[in-house]
A and B are shown apart, each in its own frame.
Chain A
Amino acid sequence: MFFEQLLNGITVGSTYALIALGYTMVYGIITLINFAHGEIFMVGAFVGLALTRFLNVNVFLAILGAMATCMLLGIVVERIAYRPLRRSSRLSALISAIGVSIFISTLVQLIRGPQTTNYPASVINNTVYTIGSIHISKLQLIMILVSAGLMIALQLIVKYTKMGKAMRATSQDYDAASLMGININQVISFTFALGSALAAAGGVLVGIYFNAVGPFMGTSAGLKAFAAAVLGGIGSIPGAMLGGLFLGVAEITAIALGKSSYTDAIAFGILFLVLLIKPTGILGRPLQKKV
Chain B
Amino acid sequence: MDFLFNDYNARIIINIGIYIIMALGLNLITGVTGQLSLGHAAFMSIGAYTSSLLSMKLGLPFGVALLGGSLTAAFFGVLLGFPTLRLTGDYLAMATLGFAEIVRVILTNLEVTGGALGLSPIPYKTTMPLVLISVILIVFAMARIERSRFGRALLAIREDEIAAETMGINTFRYKIVAFALGSFCAGLGGSLYAHFITYINPVDFGFNKSIEILNMVVLGGMGSIPGTILGSVVLTIAPEFLRFVEQYRMLFYGALLVIMMIFRPNGLLGGVNFTDLVLKTFGLKKKKKVNGSSEKEGVK
> A interface vs B, CB < 8 Å?
31-33, 80-81, 84-85, 88-96, 98-107, 110, 219, 223, 226-227, 230, 261-262, 264-265, 267-269, 271-272, 275-276, 279, 287, 289, 291
Contact = CB atoms under 8 A, between A and B. Distances in A.
Contacts of A261: 105, 108-109
B94 A95 contact: no
B182 to A, nearest CB: 16
Interface SS majority for chain A: helix
Interface string B53-97: 000000000000000000000000000000110011111011101
Contact of B262 (A85, A227, A269, A272): A85
A105 to B, nearest CB: 8
A106 to B, nearest CB: 4
Contacts of A33: 90, 93-94
Contacts of A92: 261, 265, 298-299
Contacts of A107: 251
A99 B255 CA distance: 6
5 contacts: A33-B90, A95-B257, A98-B38, A219-B207, A275-B91
A272 B84 CA distance: 9
Contact of A110 (B84, B90, B248, B298): B248
A71 B101 CA distance: 30
Contact of B261 (A93, A106, A223, A262): A93
Contact of B257 (A99, A269, A287): A99
Interface residues of B, number: 46
B106 interface: yes
Contact of A81 (B30, B84, B95, B258): B258
Given A89-B300, A275-B83, 18 more contacts: A80-B258, A85-B261, A92-B261, A93-B261, A95-B260, A96-B257, A96-B262, A99-B256, A99-B258, A101-B254, A102-B250, A105-B250, A110-B251, A219-B207, A223-B97, A264-B101, A275-B87, A287-B88
Contacts, number: 127
Nearest to A93: B261
B296 to A, nearest CB: 11
Given A88-B265, A99-B257, A279 B97 contact: no
B34 interface: yes
A139 to B, nearest CB: 29
Most buried by B among A31, A94, A289: A94
A103 B255 CA distance: 6
B99 interface: yes
A186 to B, nearest CB: 22
Contacts of A31: 90
B222 to A, nearest CB: 8
A242 to B, nearest CB: 19
Contact of A102 (B99, B101, B253): B253
A96 B254 CA distance: 8
Contacts of B90: 31-33, 90, 94
Contacts of B34: 91
A226 B94 contact: yes
A272 B102 contact: yes
B251 A103 contact: yes
Contact of A269 (B97, B102, B218, B300): B102
Interface in B100-120: 101-102, 105-106, 108-109
A103 B84 contact: no
Contacts of B211: 98, 102
A88 to B, nearest CB: 5
Most buried by B among A96, A99, A106: A99
A91 B109 contact: no
